Amino acid sequence: MISNLLNPEILIDQVINGLTIGGIYALIALGYTLVYGILFMINFAHGEIFMFGSFGGFWALTYFVNRGITGNHPILCVAVAFLVAMVVSSVLGALLERIAYRPLRTAPRLAPLISAIGASIFLQNVMMLIIKARMQVYPDIIPEEFLEMGPVSISYFQIFIISGSVLLMVGLYLFIQKTKVGKAMRAVAEDREAALLMGIDVDRIILITFVIGSALAAAAGVMVGMYYSQINHMMGFIPGIKAFTAAVLGGIGNVVGAMLGGYFLGMAEALGVLFMPAEYKDVIAFSLLVLVLIFRPRGILGEVVSERA
């Protein structure tokens, strides 16, 4: 194992793998941290929103393949698949907020948590019935090719995931910091009652928060489907829990912290397999969570929530 760490080619390959999976974790973690920053609740159905987004892209690409469209316009088909996935997950996120969470907004905190877990199980079973519990294979419309850089090779899929996730996260950060809706989101997160008195439509802002987080999770879902090729109705559980771990690592409620936590977790898993078998990468993730909760419970960058929390 130590010899792997000393081999620069293997080390660079693992760093690239860490950045790839870290970007996916970060995109999913942003949904957790956005919702927590405003509602102080954990949306444990977020992993299933990620899963539905992946299937939305799968259905779109399958339709294009059956119609024979992908041969002439593969890039356009992928772009449309991302759009379809984001619409599917955004609608699902909005429905969850309206049906499962909004009626419980003034209830004790345990009630929305139970509702989120119930919604997660419900969505898993809905998809299981739709696909009859069978593994689905993502259409391979863009062959995997590699960019050779001396002794190191990186696939174009990895370049796309790394660059795409960074662009989406930068876009989200600029949206929150620079736009009127983003400022309203920060105001609602700081003090919901004061924001309401200032004329902000709090229900609308909360709904937009769910839609944005769901759209980012959908993008991650399509990336995972294209990268790993196989998807199923349970695919959202482990990435969802790990993304929650990433959000806690960075500081729950902290947007930048969620991004940092995602990459930190991805790198820890990728480099950890240089010291131990790959089967133990989940142990690394949850060991980090335990250590952070013990020694720095507010995360690396600290929580960003209202004093009322």
DSSP states of 201-268: -HHHHHHHHHHHHHHHHHHHHHHHHHHH-EE-TTTTHHHHHHHHHHHHHH-TT-HHHHHHHHHHHHHH
- Amino acid identity of residue 54, one-letter, is S
CB atoms within 10 A of CB 224: 26
pTM of the shown model = 0.91
Counted residue by residue, the chain has a size of 309
Q: Provide the 3-class DSSP secondary structure of residue 145.
A: coil
Please, what CATH class does the domain formed by 2-135+154-295 belong to? mainly alpha
Q: What is the pLDDT of residue 161?
A: 92
Q: What is the pLDDT of residue 275?
A: 78
Place of tokens 């969620």: 258
CA 229 distance to own-chain centroid: 18
Q: Provide the 3-class DSSP secondary structure of residue 229.
A: coil
> Taking every pair of C-alpha atoms in the chain, what is the biggest distance, in angstroms?
62
Q: What is the pLDDT along the chain (309 residues), one digit of tens a residue?
A: 555 555 677 788 888 999 999 999 999 999 999 999 888 888 999 999 999 999 999 999 999 888 877 667 788 889 999 999 999 999 999 999 999 999 998 888 889 989 999 999 999 999 999 999 899 999 888 777 778 777 778 888 899 999 999 999 999 999 999 999 999 999 998 888 899 988 999 999 999 999 999 999 999 999 999 999 899 999 999 999 999 989 988 888 888 889 999 999 999 888 887 777 777 777 887 888 788 878 877 777 766 554 444
Q: Which residues of 268-284 are buried (b: 16+ CB within 10 A; e: fewer)?
A: bbbbbbbeeeeeebeeb
Place of tokens 């062959």: 143
- Amino acid identity of residue 261, one-letter, is G
Task: Give every CB contact of residue 191 below 8 A, 6+ residues apart in sequence.
Answer: 306, 308
Place of tokens 């419309």: 141
